[in-house]
Structure 1
Amino acid sequence: MEEKRKNKPCCAADALRQVRRVNVGGTVIGFTMLDAVFAEVAAMGIWDDAALGEELVRRVREHNYIPPGAEALYTAALVGEFRADGWDRHSGGCGCQGW
């Protein structure tokens, strides 16, 4: 529990500094706590895109609004950003995506 508190912003200004922009279906959306969510999910070792997307959306939704009916767009964008950032690699950085 203490680890989760450490990652949460202490104030509105800190939260604003943690906003990261991602292209979601052609619209740039600002997400807060995205790097923390990516780190948590990467530690889980989920390699399947469907399961990965479901977990990312579930955790991102804890800190951000995701409009009803837009889950598929958000899922695709979050999985793409997660993979592009290299979070899906082993700690050794070999890029084999856990296979």
Structure 2
Amino acid sequence: MGRGCCDPGAPRPQKLLVDDGEVGVLGLDEILEEVSQLLVTDEEELAAELLSRFKARNYVPPSAEKKYAAALVAEYKKRYG
């Protein structure tokens, strides 16, 4: 008794602002940290790398890929400049 419904070791969702709405995502901190280690300077390459890693952990509707990529780049720049 007294046990919660969720595994305490399970990944916790975070929120990402995508086109004026928040979406729950998994692994955002890890993805941003991994990409920051690559020292990518080209914005298109940055967007592609972020989106590729993000899609490995989260569903992204094909019609919204550009919006997600823009949101990921914005979050990356907020954290890493």
- The alignment of Structure 1 onto Structure 2 pairs a total of residues equal to 75
Structure 1 portions without partners, runs of 5+: 1-10, 89-99
Aligned equivalent of 2:50? 56
Note the aligned Cα RMSD (angstroms): 1.5
Amino acid at match of 2:37: A
Amino acid at match of 1:32: L
Question: How does the TM-score come out when normalised to structure 2?
Answer: 0.84
Aligned equivalent of 1:37? 31
Post-superposition Cα deviations, 1:42-70, rounded to whole Å, max 9, x if no partner, equal 11110111100000000000100000111
Question: How does the TM-score come out when normalised to structure 1?
Answer: 0.70
Aligned equivalent of 1:14? 10
Structure 2 portions without partners, runs of 5+: 1-6
Greater RCO between the two (CA within 8 Å, min separation 6)? 2
**Which 4+ residue blocks in structure 1 deviate beyond 4 angstroms?**
none
